[in-house]
Amino acid sequence: MSLSITYARAQLGIQAPLVTVETHLANGLPAFNIVGLPEAAVRESRDRVRSAIVNSHFEFPQRRITVNLAPADLPKAGGRYDLAIALGILAASGQVPGDALGHYEFIGELALSGSLRPIPGALPAAIACRDSGRTLVTAIESSAEAALIDTPVKSATSLLQVCAQLHGREPLPDAQQSTEQETVVCADLADVRGQLKARRALEVAAGGNHNLLFYGPPGTGKTMLASRLPGILPPLTEKELVEVAALYSSAGLSRIRQRPFRAPHHSASPTALVGGGSNPRPGEISLAHRGVLFLDEMPEFPRSALEILREPLENGEVRISRARAQVTFPANFQLVAAMNPCPCGYLGETRCRCTPDQIDRYRNKLSGPLLDRIDMQVEVASMSASQLQDSPPGESSDTVRERVIRAREIQWQRQGKINGDLQASELDEFCRLGNQEAALLRTSVEKLGLSARSYHRVLKVARTLADLSGQEHIGTAQIAEALAYRNLDRRAIASA
């Protein structure tokens, strides 16, 4: 047999398109050519595959070898095709049975010794392989994350072990999930003394998955409060766990078991936030999917980077367009940001030396459309040393998390989603107001000059406040508190 076909999986964002590896041996001067839009790392697999075959005690055929990676218009990158190419050559030369290859898909990078190395994106490949009805064979390090879903996955340590499976001599073991449990200790909300208004806002934001902005002088606890948000959020569901694990797998990062908390530095570029590259990789907003994206010193970020957040905050996803492909990454994150009232942070005090132009430039980093998409904007006031010492410890994260979980359960039972994810067309049904509440909201919106988007955000926050209180209907108290979180604009910052 001089022609063989094996199957592998490419990596395109969090998708894993099927790649058919066609191997043909022909007479003529010995040569080894790989076609099908391979990048440099794929072309270099010729040397890795040759050494791996020889060091696994097989014969490398001295013939004209042509390997086609189909489809030809899909870019191929990385060493993930090494195993499929090596098995294709061995099958085409009659050293392994070719009829067994059609039941498997192979992804893995080969060392010169013939051992298998892990590759990124094993979990998306396993999901796609499950849909195709074939069994995935990969390195034992990659198979641990691929075993997260219910699909046949075989783990191997070397090319020789895979060949033994194809010959029917020694079956490959089934992949096993890692037994190591990650112990992540979240900071406790009880450590925060005072700041009752900010603590309340943090609980409301967690209860409805609302975006939150803390503003106030330095040292008031804005970062401390934001870092405690993951500790009061409910754990990931099985579906959410797979979504997050697939993103981290495609980025080549270790799998996590808790809600992500990403805090990029303010020097991060737009590409670092949204993702990109010739072979697009997820950025910080996607790595925060189903978790928290914390932007400390928010106005210090480049304005171009901040404006990128507007569409993902509305749509829960980000599309990256390149000449060869368009990739969509999920980006359903909860934004928490912190900022000072001026560049030095001490606006209104005698030590502030910021000029009006400096203050305007600082505040103008946050555009009106971006502020519109932040549901809650809360001032964190400074506290004296005596006030700090006299303040008793607050409730623990465990106590607050129980209320958050109960409120979210109410939302799932009522509408099948969290309040923060409600669409404008659903608000009339799930955020219905009485005559008194509607009049209060209408008057307040006109007086504060809020946009239609802000009006919808107030309704969502009010609905969450009612759920936290266990009330079926939204009352005037919830409307008033929700409005108190929406009256921040650049003029309000100036008076902070």
Q: What is the pLDDT of residue 382?
A: 82
- In sequence order, the β-bridge partners of residue 117 are 109
Q: What is the pLDDT of residue 325?
A: 73
Q: Taking residues 436-448, what's their average pLDDT?
A: 90
Q: Specify the pTM.
A: 0.89
Tokens found for residue 474? 């939204």
> Which sequence spans correspond to the domains of the chain?
3-166, 189-494
Q: What is the pLDDT of residue 179?
A: 53
Confidence of residue 310 (pLDDT cuts 50, 70, 90): very high
**137 pLDDT exceeds 90?**
yes
Q: Taking residues 278-288, what's their average pLDDT?
A: 89
**CATH of segment(s) 3-166:** 3.30.230.10
Dump pLDDT digits (tens) for 82-91.
999 999 999 9
Dump pLDDT digits (tens) for 395-437.
899 999 999 999 999 999 999 999 999 998 899 899 999 999 9
Q: What is the pLDDT of residue 200?
A: 94
* Of 448 and 466, more confident: 466
* Of 337 and 449, more confident: 337
**46 pLDDT exceeds 70?**
yes
**490 pLDDT exceeds 70?**
no
Dump pLDDT digits (tens) for 59-80.
999 999 999 999 998 989 999 9
**496 pLDDT exceeds 50?**
no
Q: Which CATH number fits domain 189-494: 3.40.50.720, 3.40.50.10860, 3.40.50.300, 2.60.120.260?
A: 3.40.50.300
Tokens found for residue 249? 């797998």
Same fold, 3-166 and 189-494: no
